[in-house]
Chain A
Amino acid sequence: MSILVYAENWDGKFRKSTFEAISYAKKASAIFQTNVKTISIGLIDNTELERLGGGGADKVISYPNINKSNGKAIALILEKEAEDCRLIILSNTINAKIIAPRVSTKLMAGLITNVISHIDNAENICVKRQAFSSKAIETTKLKSNIGVLTIAPNAFEINNHSGNCQIEINEKEIDSDVIVLGKDVNKGKISLSEAEIVVSAGRGLKAAENWGMIEELADVLGAATACSKPVSDIGWRPHSEHVGQTGRAIAPNLYIAIGISGAIQHLAGVNSSKIMVAINTDPEAPFFKAANYGIIGDAFEVVPKLITEINNFKNN
């Protein structure tokens, strides 16, 4: 018996969320007194696969000939590899959403998404999850023998291990039921869903060309950039940066909202952030009720000062 983990990679590189899922599984494996088996999909170097051992994996099986977009095939592989497993763990990424529901259905396994707590009992699997757009935390119990859990990115620690992991390559090919025509990806940018710090701006910035200082602030903080809905609707920023009810929901450690009033629809997408800072000229802006820290002032004055202060802090 093992705990199975989908070790997602992006163009051959594992990310933080991959190791969060493995660390989560490693912790659970102590309770189940078992080992952690991971599955990698798509072309990847052996040296990268070896890194999973340091994350806590005992074994990795790599399927280099399967495309990551082929959710159906990945679910099929996980089903086969889960033969003697009680648990399958994935990070709750965009990719996981085309895999986890399929594999849970194949195995008649309960699916719990957005998980934010560890498993503490092997007999009665019960975990906490985010619900009602972070306005509530739900405790959910598995009724089935096997469970599929997708864990919230940036909610769990990564623990390092000294162990090596055994690597196995499976050359299996499985056709996809969708044809990929092309991809358009912003390379080198920090992924919004797993960023620890997010710098976000709204209509208070007045024009698209004023985003230079937002990107600079994000750069000095090692942060991802985001925006409010009106900004993506006007076309100042791409839709992929829109966070809020109809955009992406995120949960970074630090969310800095600049020139965003804090409409309830915006807060629905960001209020899982651990710490929120609001910068706004309007002292009545609703964001000041939701934020941990606030600066009342003009973004064009405050942001450059903030960049200087962070640089000073980093240099000391």
Chain B
Amino acid sequence: MKILVCISSVPDTTSKINFTENNSKFDTNGIQYVINPHDEFGLTKAVMLKEKLHATVAVITVGESSVESVMRKTLAIGADNAIRINLNPKDSYSTAKEISNYVKDNPYDIIIAGKESSDYNGGAVPCIIAEILDIPFINSCNGLSMDGDNAELSREIDGGTEKLKIKTPFIIGGQKGLVEESELRIPNMRGIMTARTKPLEVIEPSEKTSLTESVSFKKPTPKGECKIISKDSISDLVNELHDVAKVI
């Protein structure tokens, strides 16, 4: 069984988000890149399936050379090989199209992506891949078990969960629940050493189609000072929420 995990490199959550070139570009200065949090659950799940089913796990990303340290980390966690498509992606479609073109020539049984990335928050890449490759797509996937070519999955729906059955090949948008937070794998020394010699293949983009364009960024208006209300005059809070904030 062959598993492909799509990795998005995102700024660490504690990063200060700034923009350059007249607020038209994200300022990568001083940004520490990490594996997108949702992808971490998918990667650990893939490594667990590998141990159980003797599967192989490849990781793929669309990005420039700056994301290679993140890809080395995924290899240290347990992926067998990595592919980087050398393109700074312009939108979800361009990312998904490049990955799909790669998978058309190199088929996989299971493709795992995160339900969204914590930078552009589009959550569209795995579904676009599903559409291009004409395979089933399960989003917000929080449970996956394999029995041969058959998979039983669960996904989050509004106010609950839904249990589903599908056959390989398929793609999921994964999240917490695929594995628990406490099960997340982190690189150990041996993993870090072996990752150095694992293959990291760089391929050039096949096309560069994008359907949307980022024009500019701005930061949200900062909130004012927090107004502290005494615990002995809680009616003041209720009045504030009604009269000033107008939210109740």
**B-binding residues in A (CB < 8 A):** 10, 69, 71-72, 75, 93-95, 97-98, 100-102, 104-106, 108-114, 126, 130-144, 177-187, 189, 191-193, 196-197, 221, 229, 233, 239-240, 242, 245-247, 249, 253-254, 264-265, 268, 274-278, 288-297, 301-302, 305-306, 309-310, 312-313
Contacts and interface: CB of A to CB of B under 8 A. Distances in A.
A100 to B, nearest CB: 7
25 contacts: A101-B127, A131-B217, A132-B121, A135-B220, A136-B217, A139-B214, A139-B216, A141-B214, A178-B166, A185-B159, A187-B159, A221-B248, A242-B176, A246-B175, A249-B121, A254-B248, A274-B245, A288-B226, A292-B223, A293-B226, A293-B227, A295-B231, A295-B237, A306-B238, A313-B248
Interface in B122-171: 122-125, 127-128, 130-132, 135-140, 142, 152, 156-166
B76 to A, nearest CB: 21
B247 interface: yes
Contacts of B142: 239
Contacts of A306: 234, 237-238
Given A131-B120, A246-B175, A295-B234, A101 B131 contact: yes
B37 interface: yes
- Most chain B beta-carbon neighbours within 10 Å: one of A109, A114, A140, A142: A140
Contacts of B140: 94, 97
B238 A191 contact: no
Interface of B: 11, 13-14, 17, 19, 37-38, 41, 91-93, 96, 115, 118-125, 127-128, 130-132, 135-140, 142, 152, 156-166, 173, 175-177, 180-182, 210-220, 223-224, 226-231, 234-235, 237-242, 245, 247-248
**A110, A180, A221, A296: most-surrounded residue (chain B CB, <10 A):** A110
A275 B241 contact: yes
A246 B176 contact: yes
A175 to B, nearest CB: 12
Contacts, number: 269
Contact of B163 (A181, A221, A229, A292): A181
B232 to A, nearest CB: 9
Contacts of A144: 211-212
A94 B139 contact: yes
